[in-house]
Chain A
Amino acid sequence: MSESQQTELEALVNRLRDAAATLDAEQPPIAPPIGDWRRQLLALREGLSAPDPLLDPRRPELAELLAWDRDAEAFLATLYRYLLGREIDPEGRDYYLGILPELGRLQVAALLADSQESREHCRHQGVELPAGLRRVIAAANRAGRLDRRYLPVQRLLTRLLALVTRWRRRDWRHEASLARLLAQRATWEQERRELITAVLEMDDRQNQFGQRQDHEYARQRSLWEQLAVLRKRTASGATSPSALSTAPPTHPATAQSVASAPPESPLGAGMDEELDAYYLAFEAAFRGPEADIASHLDHYRDAWTRARQAGERALDLGCGRGEWLRLLQRAGFAPRGIDLNATMVAHCREQGFDVAHQDALAALRECEAGSQALISGFHIAEHLPFESLFQLVAEAYRALVPGGVLILETPNPENLIVASYSFYHDLTHRHPLTPPTLQFLLRFHGFGDTAIRRFNPPPEQTRVPGEGPVVERLNAMLAAPMDYAVVGTKPMAGEEERQP
Chain B
Amino acid sequence: MRLLVTANHTPFIAGGADYHVNGLVDALRQHGHQAELLRLPFHYGEAEIERLMAFTEGLDLRRVNDVDIDRVISLQFPGYGVNHPDHVVWLMHQHRACYELYDPNNASPALAALKPKVEAYDRHHLAKASRRYANSPRVAERLREYNGLAAQPLYHPPHRPERFTCAADWGYIFYPSRLEPLKRQALLIEAAAHLTTPVKLLIAGDGSQRHTLEAMIETLGVEDRVRLLGRISEAEKLTLYAHALAVAFPPFDEDYGYVTLEAMLSAKPVISCTDSGGPTAFIEPGESGWITSPTPEALAAACDAAWQDRRRTAEMGQAARAVYAGLDIGWEAVIETLLSS
Question: Which A residues have a C-beta under 8 Å from some C-beta of B?
Answer: 2, 5-6, 8-9, 12-13, 15-17, 19-21, 23-24, 27, 33-34, 38-39, 42, 240, 242-244, 250, 252
Contacts and interface: CB of A to CB of B under 8 A. Distances in A.
Nearest to A241: B168
Nearest to A33: B26
B168 A13 contact: no
A44 to B, nearest CB: 12
Contacts, number: 70
Interface string B220-240: 000111010100010110111
Nearest to A23: B235
Nearest to B229: A13
Nearest to B226: A9
Contact of A21 (B224, B225, B227, B235): B235
26 contacts: A2-B224, A5-B225, A8-B224, A9-B200, A9-B223, A9-B227, A12-B172, A12-B200, A12-B202, A13-B202, A13-B229, A16-B236, A20-B233, A20-B236, A20-B238, A21-B235, A23-B238, A23-B239, A38-B29, A38-B30, A42-B32, A243-B169, A243-B245, A244-B170, A244-B198, A252-B167
A6 B223 contact: yes
B243 A16 contact: yes
Contacts of A252: 167-168, 239, 242-243
Interface in B199-257: 200, 202, 223-225, 227, 229, 233, 235-236, 238-240, 242-243, 245
B171 interface: yes
Contacts of A8: 224
Contacts of B167: 252
A17 B169 CA distance: 15
A213 to B, nearest CB: 13
A27 B29 CA distance: 26
Contacts of B29: 34, 38
Contact of A244 (B171, B239, B242): B171
| 4 closest A-B pairs by CB | A243-B171, A5-B224, A20-B239, A20-B236
Number of contact residues on B: which range applies?
20 to 34
A227 to B, nearest CB: 12
Secondary structure of the B contact surface, majority rule? mixed
Nearest to B238: A23
Nearest to B162: A216
Interface in B151-182: 167-172
Interface centre among B172, B224, B242 (most CB of A within 10 A): B224
B38 to A, nearest CB: 20
A358 to B, nearest CB: 27
A12 B229 CA distance: 12
A252 to B, nearest CB: 4
A34 B28 CA distance: 12
A21 to B, nearest CB: 7
Contacts of B26: 33
Nearest to A26: B235
Nearest to A34: B30
Nearest to A24: B235
A20 B233 CA distance: 9
B275 to A, nearest CB: 30
A2 B225 CA distance: 9
Nearest to B31: A38
A6 B223 CA distance: 7
Given A242-B171, A243-B169, 13 more contacts: A5-B198, A9-B223, A12-B170, A15-B170, A16-B202, A17-B236, A23-B238, A27-B235, A243-B245, A244-B170, A244-B198, A244-B200, A250-B168
Contacts of B245: 243
A38 B171 contact: no
Contacts of A5: 198, 224-225
Nearest to B33: A42
B29 to A, nearest CB: 8
Nearest to B30: A34
A397 B225 CA distance: 63
A8 to B, nearest CB: 8
Contacts of B233: 20, 24
B242 A38 contact: no
Contacts of B198: 5, 244
Contacts of B240: 16, 20
A377 B225 CA distance: 52
A38 B32 contact: yes
A9 B227 CA distance: 8
B243 A19 contact: yes
A23 B29 CA distance: 31
Contacts of B224: 2, 5-6, 8-9
B251 to A, nearest CB: 23
A24 B245 CA distance: 22
Contact of B168 (A23, A24, A240): A240
A193 B70 CA distance: 31
A27 B240 CA distance: 16
A13 B240 CA distance: 9
Interface in B125-174: 167-172
Interface centre among A6, A33, A39, A243 (most CB of B within 10 A): A243
Contacts of A21: 235
B185 to A, nearest CB: 17
A249 B284 CA distance: 33
A250 B170 CA distance: 11
Interface centre among A8, A17, A250 (most CB of B within 10 A): A17
A20 B170 contact: no
Nearest to A244: B171
Contacts of A23: 235, 238-239
A250 B245 CA distance: 17
Contacts of B32: 38-39, 42
Given A33-B26, A42-B32, A16 B227 contact: no
A278 B11 CA distance: 58
B297 to A, nearest CB: 22
A33 B27 CA distance: 10
Contacts of A16: 170, 202, 236, 239-240, 243
Nearest to A17: B236
A243 B240 CA distance: 14
Interface centre among B239, B240, B243 (most CB of A within 10 A): B239
A16 B172 CA distance: 11
B304 to A, nearest CB: 15
B218 to A, nearest CB: 13
Contacts of B202: 12-13, 16
A6 B225 CA distance: 8
A240 B223 CA distance: 27
Contacts of B170: 12, 15-16, 243-244
B237 to A, nearest CB: 8
Contact of B227 (A13, A27, A244): A13
A16 B168 CA distance: 12
A20 B174 CA distance: 15
A34 B172 CA distance: 39
A244 B171 CA distance: 7
A158 to B, nearest CB: 39
Contacts of A240: 168
